[in-house]
Amino acid sequence: MDDALFTYEMAVRDYECDLQGIVNNSVYQNYFEHVRHEYLKSIGIDFKDYTDRGIHLVVVRAEIDYKQPLTSGDTFTVTLKLQRETKLRFVFYQEIIRHSDSKLAVKAKMVGVALNSNGRPHIPAEIEKIFSHPIA
Amino acid sequence: MDDALFTYEMAVRDYECDLQGIVNNSVYQNYFEHVRHEYLKSIGIDFKDYTDRGIHLVVVRAEIDYKQPLTSGDTFTVTLKLQRETKLRFVFYQEIIRHSDSKLAVKAKMVGVALNSNGRPHIPAEIEKIFSHPIA
Amino acid sequence: MDDALFTYEMAVRDYECDLQGIVNNSVYQNYFEHVRHEYLKSIGIDFKDYTDRGIHLVVVRAEIDYKQPLTSGDTFTVTLKLQRETKLRFVFYQEIIRHSDSKLAVKAKMVGVALNSNGRPHIPAEIEKIFSHPIA
Amino acid sequence: MDDALFTYEMAVRDYECDLQGIVNNSVYQNYFEHVRHEYLKSIGIDFKDYTDRGIHLVVVRAEIDYKQPLTSGDTFTVTLKLQRETKLRFVFYQEIIRHSDSKLAVKAKMVGVALNSNGRPHIPAEIEKIFSHPIA
């Protein structure tokens, strides 16, 4: 994870666990989304503000590998890397590292696009700027 | 969808929509999971009962394509097909068809395994039986 | 429940259960909200449409008694009664009846108001109309 | 809040907001639950461990007043006070203070009991101990 663009510390909340006693699969998407939004905020992009201005950042494809479950009491680090896939699609690579054993718990590739209020692709200047410099 | 193994009708609930006014990405995993469990129930497999007996049906990989958003008021059909990928891995192919325009809203490939209480792969007899007959 | 204004049938979804193996407390609020919105829809009031028009129906107080837990596999009926508490506050009385034993599982008193986009109380004509006739 | 027994800092996550653009009512129950569990952990009581041992800490009544909404970007403090209501019932008084204006956003009274695996009230020694000393 040394080369991650952004890292974020989190902890499992008990209500996120399901009847198997582990974090429900859907919740990892919440974690990943939250960390993407925190990353965006860190570079000056506010998700809600974008939404209010009619710029919709949406995920069009998710690939998620569940390697190890998280459970009550677990703390973990979420990492993020970003790549431009095409002119209009950008990809977040995200990993969840469980603190108890430093194991990779979940990894994801999330493909996003930006749409204007007509549903047409539209990459805002702030996002163009991210890609104007090489990213580790 | 004519060849789906199982279909299930659902409706968006308002609390499932996020600040973009559309169903949050994570919620589709809830829909897909619910329909898998309903399918399993329809063939005599109860998810909670399995869990209580130490048989854990878990998703190890999800691939989800978000094509069209669902929003407040939408009703939709979730379909399911099932294939054995390897001796130990089975794959659910699932689609969400939006009723308003009959469009494919979301499609997913969910790879599952069954684990015993030691975390070892273990396909229960009921699940073996599913695959002993050709599936449409 | 013979005198309920509106009733709605639902079923527990497994992802709604937490690590105690029962439906998490917060989820009953989802159930109650969904049924309030379905009731409103049944009388011609669309929650999202109201929101888009700047009319915000909000809950200002909830009183919830958890009597019996719901768990995986449970089906249940949610009932709703409505009373005007003051000129500006209306009260939904809601109950969840578990089908397996016809027991009252959860009961709630939810106090709501309607606010305009300035956050000022504003009861829309459609809602005034509800109260213009005696309600059983 | 100077006399709170326990305080905990949190931040709204965007997926917790609904189509009104504010945190959904049900989510405050998640916040309150999480903070109760963190408090219990701070005094040596682990919720999941209790559950695994057949001791079920459950909420039997919730009274929640929604004063001000939280929205995307809000940070807030959750406070907790604890009182014994009867031999078998204990009450958590919880408040959410919004940082942006130090206003009380939500306040709650949550009544809890402890049940053994037969569903009978049973206050574990660790919880008895909390009440054996005066609480600020």
Q: Tell me the pLDDT tens digit for each residue of D4-50.
A: 999 999 999 999 999 999 999 999 999 999 999 999 999 999 999 99
Q: Which of B19, B25, B29 to mutate to test the interface with D (most CBs of D within 10 A)?
A: B19
Q: Which residues contact D61 (CB under 8 A, 6 or more apart)?
A: C63, C64, C65, C66, D109, D110, D111
In DSSP notation, chain B reads -TT-SEEEEEE--GGGB-TTSBB-HHHHHHHHHHHHHHHHHHTT--HHHHHHTT-EEEEEEEEEEE-S--BTT-EEEEEEEEEE-SSS-EEEEEEEEETTT--EEEEEEEEEEEE-TTS-B---HHHHHHHHS---
B73·C33 Cβ contact <8 A: no
Distance from CA of D79 to the nearest CA of C (A): 19
- Residue whose token pair is 């439906």: C23
Please list, in sequence order, all residues whose beta carbon lies within 8 angstroms of the beta carbon of residue C5, skipping any fewer than 6 positions away.
C39, C80, C81, C82, C135, C136
Of B19, B21, B26, the CB nearest to D72: B19
Instruction: State the Cα–Cα distance between residues C25 and A15, nearest whole angstrom.
Output: 9
Q: Which residue of D has its CA nearest to B24?
A: D15
**DSSP code for A97:** E
- Cβ–Cβ pairs < 8 A, chains B and C: 40
Q: How far is C22 from chain D (nearest CA, A)?
A: 11
Query: Which residues of B are the active-site residues?
Result: 18
**Confidence (pLDDT) at D125:** 86
Closest Cβ opposite residue D15 in set A30, A72, A73: A30
Give the confidence band of A17 by pLDDT, cuts at 50, 70, 90: very high
How does the average pLDDT of chain B come out, rounded? 93
Calpha distance C57→C66 (Å, rounded): 25
Q: Is B117 exposed, middle or buried (0-12, 13-18, 19+ CB in 10 A)?
A: exposed
Q: How does residue A119 score in pLDDT terms, banded at 50, 70 and 90?
A: confident
Structure tokens at B100: 């308003």
Q: What is the pLDDT of residue A129?
A: 86
Q: Do C72 and C133 meet the contact criterion of CB atoms below 8 Å apart?
A: no
The owner of tokens 């768990």 is: C71
What is the pLDDT confidence band of residue A131, given thresholds at 50, 70 and 90?
confident
Contact (CB<8Å) D56/C27:
no
Predicted ipTM beyond 0.85: yes
Q: Tell me if A34 and D47 make a contact (CB, 8 A cut-off).
A: no
* Number of CB atoms found within 10 A of residue C54's CB: 11
Of residues A131, A75, A92, the one with CA closest to residue A6: A92
- Cα–Cα distance, A87 to A113 (Å, whole number): 10
Pairs of residues, one from chain A and one from chain B, whose beta carbons lie less than 8 Å apart: 61
Closest to C33 (Cβ–Cβ): which among B15, B71, B72? Answer: B15
Q: Which residues of D touch B (CB under 8 A)?
A: 14-15, 17-19, 21, 24, 26, 72
A56-62: average pLDDT:
96
Contacts of B21 in chain D (CB under 8 A): 19
pLDDT in the model for residue B127: 84
Token duo for residue C41? 């829809």
Cα distance from D49 to chain A (closest Cα, Å)?
9
- In C, which residues are within 8 Å of D69 by CB distance? 58
User: Taking the CB of residue B118, how many other CB atoms lie within 10 A of it?
Assistant: 7
Q: Which residues of C are less than 8 Å from A72 in CB distance? A: 19
How close A9 comes to chain C (CA, Å)?
23
| CA-angle at C55, arms to C51 and C61, nearest 5° | 95
Mean pLDDT score, B22-45:
97
Q: How far A70 CA lies from chain B's nearest CA (Å)?
A: 13
d(CA D105, CA C99): 37
| pLDDT band at residue A98 using 50, 70 and 90 as cut-offs | very high
**Is residue C101's pLDDT more than 70?**
yes
Q: Spell out the alpha helix ranges (H) of A43-103.
A: 47-52
Contact in structure between A94 and A35 (CB atoms under 8 Å):
yes
Q: B92, B85 in Cβ contact below 8 A?
A: no
Q: How far is B103 from B82, CA to CA, in rounded Å?
A: 22
Which residue of A lies nearest to C22 if distances are taken between CA atoms?
A: A19
Catalytic residue among D18, D46, D49, D65: D18
Q: What is the pLDDT of residue A33?
A: 98
Q: What is the four-CA torsion angle of D25, D27, D33, D39, rounded to 10 degrees?
A: -110
Residues with Cβ within 8 Å of C70's Cβ and at least 6 positions away in sequence, in order, are C12, C22, C23, C76, C96, C98, C105, C106
In this predicted structure, what is the pLDDT of residue A136?
45
Query: Which of D29, D51, D65 is facing C60, going by the closest CB pair?
Result: D65
In the three-class reduction of DSSP (H, G, I as helix; E, B as strand; rest coil), residue C35 is classed as helix
- Calculate the CA A100 to chain-centre distance: 22
What separation, in Å, do the N-terminal and C-terminal C-alpha atoms of chain C show?
A: 11
pLDDT reported for residue D2: 62
Give the nearest partner residue to C62 out of D27, D64, D67, using CB atoms.
D64
Which residues in B lie closer than 8 A to residue C21 (C-beta atoms)? 48
User: What does pTM read for this prediction?
Assistant: 0.95
Task: State the DSSP string of C73-111.
Answer: T-EEEEEEEEEE-SSS-EEEEEEEEETTT--EEEEEEEE
